[in-house]
Amino acid sequence: MGKFTDGPKQLLAGLRLLLKPGIRIYVLIPFTMNSLLFAAVIFFGASSLNDLIDWLTSNFPWTSWLSWLLWPVFAFISMTIVFFCFSIIANLIAAPFNGFLAEAVAAHLNKTPPDRPFTLKTLPAELSSAFRIEIIKLSYFLVRALPLLLLFFIPFVQAFAPFLWFIFGAWMLALEYMEYPMGNEGILFPQVRQTLAGRRSLTLSFGSSVMLLTMIPVVNFIAMPAAVAAATKIWIEQLNADSKEALDVAK
């Protein structure tokens, strides 16, 4: 039971780590970028809708009542877009910074200087590497998600589909965020999967906690950096420690 409760505990610890000096900057930069992006999209959508309503009411006065319907619909659609699309777009934008965030958290926990502090010179290389890894993750997700979605259309089996989808989502979120600290150590994505598969209880506990956090409006804006920080803490304190212990026993 203890291992399954480790996920929520580590995620809460990750939230607290975001306030530490030397870590906050890697949260603020992608958070600001994502906030500005979504604010711009919503502003553009609202402005376009306002122009459409003005055009309709000017040319067809009898449609003036539609404004009372269109604005609530627009608000609902905006919230839906933010809720469902934020994680995907935010991950792409923040991917280059998440590696530095994991590095900063590791340095804080180990009480050592960061191995590769953030500079503008290193950003292009980090961008290229981060996008390449994100494409690998996305490919892994799509190959498995598309067949899993078919279960929702199979009679009787569809009753279990939401449960299976939740487990798969938890697994994917754990993979997504654990890759950052492990990737900083030179561990490739297949080895990340293999390591997490050996610790399923901890992995699913962590992934489920992240998933639930992303479902909370507004709070989901900080779910990503909190998950990166928590994943780094899990790697240093549990997975990496277990790996070193196993090597010592083998010797």
What is the chain's alpha carbon radius of gyration, rounded to the nearest angstrom?
A: 21
Average pLDDT, the chain: 80
pLDDT of residue 251: 43
Higher per-residue pLDDT: 17 or 215: 17
Average pLDDT over residues 174-200: 93
Q: How large is the angle between the packed helices 223-234 and 66-110, nearest 10 degrees?
A: 20
Cα(123)–Cα(127) distance, rounded to whole angstroms? 6
Cα(80)–Cα(123) distance, rounded to whole angstroms? 32
**231 falls in which pLDDT band (50, 70, 90)?**
very high
Residue 183 has pLDDT above 70, yes or no: yes
Lowest mean pLDDT, pick from 18-22, 25-29, 195-199? 25-29
Residue 81 has pLDDT above 60, yes or no: no
